[in-house]
Structure 1
Amino acid sequence: MQNLSNVIAGKKGLIVGIANDNSIAYGCAEVLKQCGAEFAVTYLNEKAERFVRPLAESLGAGIIMPMDVEVPGQLEAVFAEIEKKWGKLDFVIHSIAFCPMDDLHGRVTDCSAEGFGQAMRVSCYSLIEMARLAEPLMTDGGTIVTMTYYGADKVVENYNVMGPVKAALESTVRYLAAELGRKRIRVNAVSPGPLRTRAASGIAHFDRLIEDAIAKTPEHKLVDIEDVGMTTAFLISDAGRALTGETVYVDRGFHHMV
């Protein structure tokens, strides 16, 4: 942690996706706070605010604002506040995804156009929007990190339509990395193993997926949000300066096992 602190202290960023203290984004925020980074935190709506704001305040977030990527103007307002307060941005952590429950629990074959479109809008296109708004603020270069999952590459039972959506997200990471590289902006995806987050609880038979991961990983252990936070901090730090356009697995070797 001390070595990471040497190259992260003072960096300023945006963390999107904290819902509670089990969120991947919260794990990232905790590690980055320990490393001396400053960051803005967003919450989805008024209902979410009562859970997120106390966490954001305990993390010392310099900006706490609502942001629903489906509400026009909210995303732009957050970046405008960042520009006003800091005048620059060093990193963005994009850790949001959504799919209507009926479409998530059904076959890809039966997915509605509306459900597929909303899943892509929230889970993938929002990364493009954040990259576009971050670009002019990353005057000294920067890092954008999003969260994906193994189901983007392999068929995972019950992951359903989120598999194609996350595959699109990973492809988007590669294209953004290629386009923004000349400005020294790196874009990567982190792919954690199964985690007991609120978002994951919407996947049917998630407990079975957890049991399978424990059985197959070489150490027979799950990752936790701190593991993901440490990897994300590495990617944000100058120590990760040679990595861009990558999908970095943080799953204790699960994706290697058959």
Structure 2
Amino acid sequence: MKLYFKYLSIHFKSQMQYRTSFWLLSIGQFFIPFSIFVGLYFLFERFGQIKGWQFFEVALCFAVIHMAFSLSECFARGFDMFSSLVVKGEFDRLLVRPRSTFVQVLGSKFEFTRVGRLLQSVIVLVWALSNLPIEWSTIKAITLALMIVSGVFIFTGIYMLAATMCFWTVQGLEVASIFTDGGREMAQYPLNIYQKWVARFFTYVIPFGTVNYLPLQYILGKGDGNELIHMLTPVLGSLFILPCFLVWQFGVRHYRSTGS
């Protein structure tokens, strides 16, 4: 972790060398999800509710998933941009260093400009919570925090799977965007508004349902059952990163240099 934070410090100082550019990019990142949220607002302005879900309930779901996405884009950007390391042959250099390739790739790229997207998500989160009649408890507060953390792990896991494919395809596959950008767009709504096979896939295969739908029902008082089980649902979803890490390790062991 000392090495990881060293990477973090170096990249932060590097990006702050051009502060005007940094802040302009951050402002741009603020308005990208803002335009999506405006569309969400007008959707509910027109129809009132979607399958029993009110605007501020979906806004809470929106804020959680976009917050998780922005954090994963900031801190796991190394895996998202991993194909460039393979194409240029720079991954060979990482292999001969006496440190984990996982940490080195994770620390190879940070996007601190995602603070704009994160700020927008925080504003929506606070606005939604202030307009929802939630009876708060310690377990509910922990559940909300775990939802965000679990979302970060899931998005990071998807980035890792996409990066692993580069060992065989060299170039990155755009199909991964179906589960990153597409997963973000899909998971900003409760899963029960989709067809059952979609909800099942994104609960049991790629567990976005453990980030938004299942724990969200508990926080909003829409679901019954043991409070501890609801709190641990996001924890189960975060375990998705473990098989992704094993797949990554398998790819590293079978990597053959591009010869660049």
TM-score over 0.5 (shorter chain): no
TM-score normalised per structure 2: 0.33
TM-score normalised per structure 1: 0.33
For the pair shown, the structure with the greater C-alpha radius of gyration is: 2
Which has the larger strand fraction? 1
The structure with higher relative contact order (CA 8 Å, sep 6+) is 2
Which has the larger helix fraction? 2
